Amino acid sequence: MNIYDSLNPQQCEAVRHFEGPLLILAGAGSGKTRVLTHRIARLIEEEGVNPWNILAITFTNKAAGEMRERVEQMLGGVGTVWVSTFHSTCVRILRRYIDLIGYSTNFTIYDGDDQKTVIKEICKRLKIDTKIFKERGFLSAISAAKDELVGPEEYARRAQGDYRMEKITQVYRAYQEQLKSNNALDFDDLICKTVELFQSVPEVLASYQERFRFILVDEYQDTNMAQFKLVSLLASKYRNLCVVGDDDQSIYKFRGANIGNILNFEEYFPDAKVIRLEQNYRSTQSILDTANEVIKHNAGRKSKTLWTANPDGEKVKFRQFMNGFEEAEYVAEMIAGKTRGGEWKYGDCAVLYRTNAQSRLFEEKFLLANIPYKIVGGVNFYARKEIKDILAYLKTIANAEDDLAVRRIINVPKRGIGQASVSRVQEYAIARGTGFYEVLKDADKIPGVGRTGLKLCGFAELIQTFRSKAEFYTIKQLIEDILEVTGYVKELEAEGTDEADERIANLDELLSKAAAFDEEFGGEEENENKRPLLDLFLEEVALVADIDDLEENPDHVVLMTLHSAKGLEFPVVFLVGMEEGLFPSYLSMSSEDPMDIEEERRLCYVGITRAKRELTLTSARQRMVRGETHYSRVSRFVEDIPDEMLVKQDDFREPRQSERPARAQNQTAYQQAREAFRAKVFVPQQFQVKKAQALDYGAGDRVRHVKFGDGTVKAVVEGGRDYEVTVEFDRVGQKKMFASFAKLVKL
């Protein structure tokens, strides 16, 4: 058996190509790794190329290891091919020659924490207010500049007249000076400094051009400007550059990827040979037809049409639901029914979504249905830092004796309360046999805390204020107040990073969770035991979040974002949240750059082509965003698919009763009521603190409160910021409240 027996004609052509630039457009599931490894083997076995004259570059250490292993298996260990990532390649070069551009070869490589420490020190030295300009924002801007090979001086020229960019320039210049002083490089520098070395010292570049006469680059559509420049310099002498990629799967613009590198390859190398790998070995033809219909609407692409020798398979299904609760419940019911019937295994199934925040509903439904699942490329919703922070506020408001919760948030967001002060408070509390929070109220009297004592007292007063509001606020209103008063979201917004945006989206989803809870248990009749709503909410969250004790099961449903799914495949895929504003996102829809929508469409194409046998697309007519109901039309990506290719919702067979997920035998009445209610559609009340010009009720009028029910107004006192209203409620007695958040309705 020779190396060509397992290849199709296009793959053979790519493998047999010898010298000159080569662009391999490898469609999803077309066997590109097989082509790369066979090509390396042929260069060595048939063309007599020395293994050490070949450089193969990948994006991950795992991919590099797998490629190296496969090449060695094919060749029987005839020699060592240099297979590594961009960064590993650059480190090896810089360790030998970086002294030629002013660094020592024993340089340190700084990780993310090291970078943050340097930026923090620089901001302090330059007296930059980090409440306005966040350290993360500086790091993100500097990294983006390095991706484009833009140094501090060029950045300064571009920044003229832009106040924010001028601040970044200050920090960027000081940051690079500090790294140079420390003989350190960050990960972006590894590539930038290698390019600088090659451009500054032609002899070094020439030596590596001789060394690497044949260069292969995998996932070329994900390269940025710096990586492109590096490869171009190395290949400029012999021009034996083979790049493999799929412009239709370029989805990492937010990380600096430049799709122009692959789209314009023939402009950079006019004599390049282009080979299209269009035969797919993964999916059914029905799934591929759907993918082709979606992606053909992009203008910025190299034309290709996926096909397969596999059977046509089932048509792609599309179902629209009233809301996100029904969508998640349907997916849970289908998976539970099909697995119980023996048609699927849990491990066959993947649920793909646009944002991490979407996982919450599916996590809750899967837990209630006893469906094992694993989140890939993310953290379980209630384990995410921002969610745990706000829940810690709620726990402290409900129970200040929870020292763990108090200590978690005492300096979140930052209030200038250091760990040393916290330790002194803890020691003081232990010595007096009292709780941590109790001593905070008089923290200014604790020896050794100094001026921090006033900040500690201020924190205690803040919690007391939240406690006084908790009796009148819904859970959603209370969380909104926490986010507003503490400035938690404003601090994230000031970062201006993709990570911060993701965290804000998670907080929005927590508000949606709270609004759903308020609707379910907001009335006294829903709370049989008359327990505080905050306690019930925290209990419900704890029941759903307590998944640490779940037995690890390799047969589990996978939940992941579409970005995390790239390169993977699953027999059964649910592509959920197919709505305008969610997928494609509002940001891409409002962008002036049409390429943003095209990247969203490529992301959809990636999601579709993850499916091997069955694909279901779902959407919701209305969805909770920040606890408010938003109505959306079906995603344009679904509308791109001709009706005859889809089995739409009217053609669906509803899961039989026998297919519905079994409920736990010991499920409480409270849990059953909660689950039954979630299918209801509702529009939560909007909440804004604003003094009315006048009230439409007065003393003696009958009014209704969302929580306390009906009552009679006893007195109304006008204050500078609001009206204080005293009401004698029929069921709960007399209450005093402010009109702006009481939302009393005259009967």
Among 315, 333, 369, CA closest to 655: 333
- Pairing assessment for the beta strands 745-746 and 702-705 based on DSSP bridges: antiparallel
Strand arrangement, sheet containing 745-746? 733-738, 723-729, 709-718, 702-705, 745-746
249 is catalytic: yes
Give the Cα separation of 315 and 472 in Å (integer).
52
User: Which amino acid appears at position 746 of this protein?
Assistant: K
Q: Which of 32, 282, 360, 408 is catalytic?
A: 32
Residue for token digits 């709960």?
732
415 is catalytic: no
- Pairing assessment for the beta strands 82-85 and 54-58 based on DSSP bridges: parallel
> Would you say 566 and 557 are in contact if contact means Cβ atoms under 8 Å apart?
no
Among 329, 335, 325, CA closest to 371: 335
227 is catalytic: no
Among 54, 45, 42, CA closest to 18: 42
Locate the DSSP E strands across 488-594: 557-561, 570-575
Copy the structure tokens of residue 293: 């219909």
Q: H-helix or E-strand containing 591? A: none
290 is catalytic: no
626 is catalytic: no
CB burial readout 715-745, b (16+ within 10 A) else e: ebeeeeebbebbbebeeeeebebbbebbbbe
**HSE-up (13 A, CA, CB side) for residue 353:** 25
CB burial readout 414-448, b (16+ within 10 A) else e: ebebeeebbebbeebbeeeeeebbebbbebbebee
Q: Which of 189, 219, 518, 722 is catalytic?
A: 219
Q: Which of 189, 218, 329, 540 is catalytic?
A: 218
Q: Which residues pair with 307 in a beta bridge?
A: 279
Angle at CA 569, nearest 5°, toward 8 and 584?
110
Give the Cα separation of 66 and 43 in Å (integer).
19
Copy the structure tokens of residue 493: 């917004």
Where helices occur in 522-585 by DSSP H, the ranges are: 533-545, 562-565
Coarse DSSP helix, strand, coil percentages of the chain, rounded to the nearest 5 percent:
50, 15, 35
Give the Cα separation of 45 and 43 in Å (integer).
6
Q: Which residues pair with 702 in a beta bridge?
A: 712
693 is catalytic: no
Give the Cα separation of 677 and 189 in Å (integer).
55
Catalytic residues: 32-33, 218-219, 249, 610
